[in-house]
Amino acid sequence: MYSMFEGVNASEGIGIGKVVLAVEPDLSFEPHEVEDAAAEKARYQQALEVFCQKTEAQAERMKVTVGENEAEIMSGHIMLAQDPGLVDGINTAIDGGACAEKALVDTSTMFENMFLAMDDEMFRLRAADIADIRTGILAELLGKDVVDLSVLPAGSIVVVHDLTPSMTATIDKENVAGVVTEVGGRTSHSAIIARALEIPAVLSVPNACGALLNGTTVIVDGINGHVINDPDEQMLEDYQKRADAFAEEKHALEAFRGKPTVTADGDKKVLACNIGNPEDAKGAVDHDAEAIGLFRSEFLFMDAKELPSEDEQFEAYRKVAVTLKGAPVIIRTLDVGGDKEIPYLKLQKEDNPFMGYRAVRYCLDNADEYKVQLRALLRASAFGDIKIMVPLVTCVEELRQVKALVEECKAELATEGYKYNENIEVGIMMETAAAANIADILAEEAAFFSIGTNDLTGYTMASDRGNDKVSYLYSWYYPAVLRAIKNIIVNGVKAGIMVGMCGEAAADPLLTPLLISWGMEEFSVSAPSVLKTRKAISQWTKSDADALEAKVMQLKTADEVKAALEEAAR
């Protein structure tokens, strides 16, 4: 008798095959005090060096088997493992008498918990990276082998507690039909790499490693987030048909490559990508994006040991501008503080960091540091269509202060002989309830709006998406969130400024007709969602979208809204 398990649909597709349990090595150890701290630190350094050498080899292999952007995840592991804060903490613990294993576990766990406490999903990824690094170095210290997925039989369904980047670096794509994990979400590195490999994946399936036995036939439904254990013949036949249909639909999406992004009645839209570092820009172009709708600049700061210099920042921004060859590039200024700790910024811990000293609040209070970034952005604007986006704006005063600093920087650069775009646009990431409520006022001062639906949903619904107890409230189908989005778009359009969306909702095909009805101009999505979003936009005329919008905006609950949008889906 078959059984079904539910999880997170992290990578679309249907995979049918036999379970291969990827059992992680036993890395338990007996902590002991050491007398020769120098020798123990040398032992740790040796393990670290071997780990970095192996990781570098994995990154090189991933460049060939997966792609350069995904290989950067492994290269990032090396930087993180060698981070002075982590290494110094481990050496200090060893000096205090701890063995290398305990020093590694205690120090890395402290860093992991710090990242887990952060609200931004991209920063929470670092917690998984830290855990992956700890496993790799600990295995070296204990002389154990880590999971190797390079030799698998054809049609394998890999079932593992967590598919870490180091595991996926060894994965044999041709022989893996699907992936099931016990942890992870759509934005975890395991999901990102599974999507890049185009392997169906369902994550966060409770007790998957205990419930799914080696050699059992399993269906991984990465479209709906279902895992079917021991299916009967009829079910296998049905899902094979679904797999064939999915493959045909995916092939059909290629017809949208190189085509303009237009509605069914010919209204032109801009289809952009969200990126986290300069290397991601190439992936965006490869996936046929027309612009960059969000470049999260904080990764330059996270990956540095000290505040990145103006030249370092300039080079990163210039690289993206050149890669996009004159297409728009919206760069969000430093969005850290409170929950996003960067050690060298020496931010104080806060009781309520999500509503605390962060983003534009921190930047305006540290104007000299902020001007370094603004100068770099202005210099890079000479090489492409760079636009500056200000995060977490809640009042018009904040935008005015940023614009005044931009003017100061322009005057300085002109005196120093630097070129820049004198008409560079300064816009707002619309992600707070306050900004949504005064969208008409802000539209008079901002060059553009980009709606960050992830935070806008959280702030509007007072719901922490990382808290399971209230995560049911974290949905953009709630009328409160839809009204906030509508108010932003309608007021931006009325003022004649560009309005885009860079949150996950931009790639939701159910929401597409509403966004078209309200007049949104730019959709910024993850690279793999570009063609799918172009297709969704092409299926709606303005009049059809308006008719659906009139019906949906009369509804009173999120369930009613979602049901109506699903019924109208094309």
Tell me which of 189, 209, 226, 363 is the catalytic residue: 189
Report residue 73 as tokens: 């995840």
CB 449 within 8 A of CB 499: yes
CB 69 within 8 A of CB 196: yes
The Cα 528–Cα 66 span in angstroms is 14
> How many C-beta neighbours within 10 Å does residue 146 have?
19
**Helix, strand or coil, per DSSP, at residue 154:** coil
Angle at 109 between CA 105 and CA 114, to 5 degrees: 160
Report residue 298 as tokens: 């904080």
3-state secondary structure 19-81: EEECCCCCCCCCCCCCCCHHHHHHHHHHHHHHHHHHHHHHHHHHHHHCCHHHHHHHHHHHHHH
- Judge whether 502 counts as a catalytic residue: yes
Cα 121–chain centre separation? 6
The Cα 385–Cα 387 span in angstroms is 7
CB 322 within 8 A of CB 328: no
Q: What are phi and psi of 346, to 5 degrees?
A: 55, 50
The Cα 155–Cα 139 span in angstroms is 29
Q: CA end-to-end span of the chain, whole Å?
A: 35
DSSP 3-state percent helix, strand, coil across the chain (nearest 5)? 50, 15, 35
Report residue 214 as tokens: 């080696």
Q: Is the sign of the CA dihedral 95, 101, 103, 108 positive or negative?
A: positive
Cα 423–chain centre separation? 30
Residue carrying structure tokens 């979003």 = 533
Starting from the edge strand earliest in sequence, which strands make up the sheet with 201-203, in order? Answer: 3-6, 226-229, 217-221, 14-21, 156-160, 176-181, 201-203, 8-11
Radius of gyration of the chain, Cα coordinates, nearest whole angstrom: 24
The Cα 538–Cα 263 span in angstroms is 4
CA dihedral 179, 182, 185, 191 (to 10 degrees): -20
- Judge whether 189 counts as a catalytic residue: yes
- E strands, 268-355, in order: 270-275, 291-296, 328-332
401 Cβ contact list (under 8 Å, min separation 6): 364
CB 486 within 8 A of CB 546: no
Tell me which of 52, 99, 363, 502 is the catalytic residue: 502
Give the containing element (helix H, strand E) for 241.
Answer: helix 233-253
The Cα 520–Cα 512 span in angstroms is 10
Instruction: Tell me the catalytic residues.
Output: 189, 502
